Each structure stands twice: as structure tokens, then as C-alpha cells.
Amino acid sequence: MSTINKQRKKHGEGQLVMNAEKADRFTGRNFLLPILLILFIGAYIAIMSADPKFVMTTMSWVTIGMYFLLAALFFFRKPYLKIGKDYVQSRRMTGDKRLNAADIGSIRVQDGYVTIVPKKGGGWTFSRLLNRFNTAAMTDKMKSFAQVHGITFEEK
């Protein structure tokens, strides 16, 4: 089975999965928060080095290094939207979250943005500008998902 999947991957086709659910997964790229963290590090270094009494100790370098690691963590941890048969799943700041179709209040779509509004809690917004999501393809899949499950679909 693995050789068949390798060949299918080379041809740009999806993998064959026996007795498993097919789900569409849209991945983005988080670059805004890492840039802000690096700017914060630069401001920290500039402010601290402007003070003549300040000496860069080991703890200062460890702090700077940890902020760089945090920026790298946010950069390489890609946001995603996974659309399953009766659920949607996404990576939020607090971890992976899953919404069943019954828990979704509405789906709003506008140019460059897809927003899933749950019945309780805050909305999930996926942006082409901020996270480099393919919102056009997401719109098509979310529209069919909403039709199948009777969810309100608003297109602006």
C-alpha cells in the first residue's frame, strides 16, 4: 500500500486510505506573530543597549534566545482547517479544536476571509492575508459542507 501511495503522491493525487474517513485539509502559514516577536527582540536589545549601566548577562542572552525559539515555534507550527464528514477542526492558540456540524451556527464568507461562527464561543476566522490560506478553495468546500448539514451560509 505504501508504494502505491508514494506513486500517487508523485503524480499529485491523494493517498489511498482503507476504511478511513476522507477529510480536506487546508494549511496556511503564520508569519505575522513571528515578525512581531523579532521586532520585540530588536526593541528590547536597542533599549537595553542604550543604557550605559546595563551589562548583557547570560540571562539576557537566554531571554533573547528563548524569544527567537518562540518565534520559530509559531512560524513552523502551521495553522490549518480540516473539513471532515460532519466536523471541522483547526489549530487555535490553545491547541487543536474540533466543532461538530451541530455546534456550528453559521459560516460567513467574504473576499479573502472565511469565518466559522459556533453556536457558543468566538468565531474562527481564516484569512488569505494574515495566514496565507487558500480561501477560494475553502469557500467551495465550506459551501458544500453547509448545504449537507443545513448550516446558514452567508456570502458577502
pLDDT at 147: 93
- pTM for the full predicted model: 0.75
pLDDT at 7: 81
Per-residue pLDDT tens over the stretch 130-142: 899 999 999 999 9
pLDDT at 17: 64
Strand-by-strand arrangement of the 87-92 sheet: 24-27, 80-83, 87-92, 95-100
The mean pLDDT value for 68-75 works out to 94
Check residues 45 and 6 and name the one with the higher pLDDT.
45
β-bridge mates for residue 155, sequence order: 109
- Please state which of the ranges 10-14, 56-60, 61-65, 99-103 shows the lowest mean pLDDT: 10-14
**Contacts by 85-88, CB closer than 8 A, 24 or more apart:** 85/21, 85/22, 85/23, 86/149, 88/116, 88/124, 88/145
Can you say whether residue 12 is alpha, beta or left, with left for phi > 0 and alpha for psi between -120 and 50 degrees? left
pLDDT at 20: 60
pLDDT at 1: 59
Per-residue pLDDT tens over the stretch 78-127: 899 999 999 999 988 888 999 999 999 999 999 999 999 999 989 999 99
Per-residue pLDDT tens over the stretch 8-42: 777 777 666 665 667 889 999 988 999 999 999 99
What string of DSSP letters covers 75-143? HHS--EEEE-SSEEEEEETTEEEEEEGGGEEEEEEETTEEEEEESSSPPEEEEHHHH---HHHHHHHHH
